[in-house]
Amino acid sequence: MILDRKKVREQFASYTRNYDPEDVKIALKIAHTYRVADNCEKIAKSLGLSEDDVEFAWLSGMIHDVGRFEQVRRYNTFNDARSVDHAELGADLLFGEEGLIRGYLEDSSLYDMMDVVIRQHNKYRIDESVTGKTLTFCNILRDADKIDILRVNVETPLEDLYSTTTEKLMESEVSEEVMDQVREKIAVSRAITRTCAEHQIGHIALVFELVYPKSRELAREQGYLYQMFDFPTETESMKKALAETRREVDEFFSSAE
């Protein structure tokens, strides 16, 4: 596969210039894109993949959130449940009538696989029909995305991230339903996360789903994970949830070593 990274970056920059760079959400997703692509490359290399496959993985990171920009313009939110599934929207923009993928990747024989990888990157579980190399690329992108979501939650003001006020953050509660999934050491389903506090716990719990050793290494190495436990709260349920989730995360990493 011949991939011109300079062209890919220029194409991405050209596309995102259609959106307001002063918008915190837009700026956030531009930075996120480059970091996810970098994570994809590191994970792919750790698996000993071929040069072509490493390039494919890197490209998946560069285009995985194309749908986020249009989502923000249309709905001013990252909440898929309140707007649109950003992965499906992105894949439609890339592989549908607009055919944005042609600006990034010339080899059309790879389009079907990339389409699946983009559509599956935000799903709670990868569809069982996805197998082989496609499944590997799905796991690489999903791991890379989860790792950088930790950074985003630390570096972005939570009020901007969750479109809320400091007061509401402080008063945000966590349900036992959410904590039951944390105790199972699985990702918390977005279907049951309703409050800002629950979203924060859910983002921390993403580490339970990291597939590859390199992914777990990167998540710990970058240092953002444990900073997420500094969530501002005045509620007993969130204080207890943070303490319990930290114990579960510590136990998870100890058992994974």
Model pLDDT for residues 4-57, shown as the tens digit of each residue: 999 999 999 999 999 998 898 899 999 999 999 999 999 999 999 999 999 999
Domains, the chain, ranges and CATH? 1-156 (1.10.3210.10), 162-257 (no CATH)
Neighbours of 126 (CB within 10 A): 17
SS3 185: coil
pTM for the model: 0.95
Query: Angle, nearest 10°, between helix axes 66-75 and 86-95?
Result: 120
Query: For 129-152, what is each residue's pLDDT tens digit?
Result: 999 999 999 999 999 999 999 999
